[in-house]
């Protein structure tokens, strides 16, 4: 069975922009221009609405089978093509999901509020995902994640941000999923991240440190964020923050190397 991948955040608004065109030929031409190839069943060749629906259905299946790097490449190609047609609509659709396209790359614009104390009620998993992704995006050089219950969902966060490609993770050895190390190595090899993972039992709270200078405390593990009510709290007191980061680096130096 083919593995289905979650979509990168910029694809859905771009696909909807293509789908809004009335002509099925225009829809097909736009998708073919970015690499889609689909042989239409003979009974649909002269149809109108059903033909367009068939294209969109197959495109959605195609995208779901692409891993995230390929999806980002597809999104860039589609954004370039649709910008040539209607730059205002492309900007409007991407603004709606917190992204901008400068003609060659995507950039996040949804960083408002990340420096504030935020509460997430139980069930707010999407809001939590968006907020944590915003934290990742706001880093310029490095992410340092302290989370005793990390899993492979971390890779989706890293790929969805277009952020820094250097990440350190400090977790607990006994909670690491059995296939995590193997997948981490494949992730690094394919996507070019500098990812270092070490283990220690020194921490209870989850923390995210951005660029060695800003720190956030999470009341839930990243993989479970939003399943139950929790908080994300920026550490604003400078002396407290500096001591937290100093201690985290001290533990990191003594921790056991996993990858």
| Rounded-to-integer distance, Cα 155 and Cα 119, Å | 24
Q: Tell me which residue of 194, 146, 187, 139 sits closest to 166, measured CA to CA.
A: 194
Residue 98 structure tokens: 């917190």
Where exactly are the structural domains of the chain?
A: 11-108, 118-257
- In terms of Cα–Cα distance, which of 258, 78, 79 is closest to 178? 258
Secondary structure of residue 217 in the 3-state scheme: strand
Instruction: Give the residue ranges of the chain where pLDDT is below 50.
Output: 1
CA atoms of 25 and 233, how far apart (whole Å): 50
Nearest to residue 255, comparing CAs of 152, 144, 177?
Answer: 144
pLDDT number for residue 58: 87
Q: Is 3.40.50.620 the CATH number for 118-257?
A: no
Q: What pLDDT does residue 16 have?
A: 92
pLDDT on residue 220: 94
Q: How much is the pLDDT for 40?
A: 65
Tell me how far CA of residue 22 lies from CA of 29, 99, 158, in angstroms.
Answer: 13, 26, 36
Q: Residues of 29-61 as b/e, b for ≥16 C-beta within 10 angstroms?
A: ebbeebebeeeeeeebeeeeeebbebbbebbee
pLDDT at residue 1, rounded to an integer: 47
């Amino acid at each position: 069975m083919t593995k289905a991948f979650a979509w990168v955040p910029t694809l859905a608004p771009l696909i909807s922009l293509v789908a809004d065109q009335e002509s099925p030929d225009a829809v097909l031409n736009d998708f073919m221009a970015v690499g889609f190839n689909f042989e239409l069943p003979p009974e649909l060749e002269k149809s109108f609405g059903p033909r367009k629906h068939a294209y969109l259905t197959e495109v959605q299946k195609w995208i779901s089978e692409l891993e995230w790097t390929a999806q980002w490449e597809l999104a860039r190609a589609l954004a370039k093509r649709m910008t040539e047609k209607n730059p205002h609509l492309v900007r409007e659709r991407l603004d709606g999901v917190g992204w901008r396209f400068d003609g060659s790359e995507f950039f996040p614009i949804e960083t408002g509020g990340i420096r504030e104390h935020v509460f997430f009620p139980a069930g707010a998993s999407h809001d939590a995902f968006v907020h944590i992704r915003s934290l990742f995006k706001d880093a310029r050089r490095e992410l340092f994640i302290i989370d005793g219950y990390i899993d492979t969902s971390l890779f989706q966060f890293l790929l969805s941000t277009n952020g820094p490609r250097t990440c350190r993770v400090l977790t607990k050895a006994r909670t690491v999923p059995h296939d995590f190390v193997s997948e981490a190595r494949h992730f690094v090899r394919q996507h070019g991240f500098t990812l270092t993972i070490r283990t220690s039992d020194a921490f209870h709270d989850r923390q995210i440190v951005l660029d060695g200078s800003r720190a956030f405390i999470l009341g839930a593990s990243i993989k479970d964020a939003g399943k139950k009510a929790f908080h994300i709290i920026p550490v604003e007191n400078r002396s407290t923050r500096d001591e937290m980061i100093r201690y985290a680096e001290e533990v990191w130096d003594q921790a056991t190397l996993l990858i």
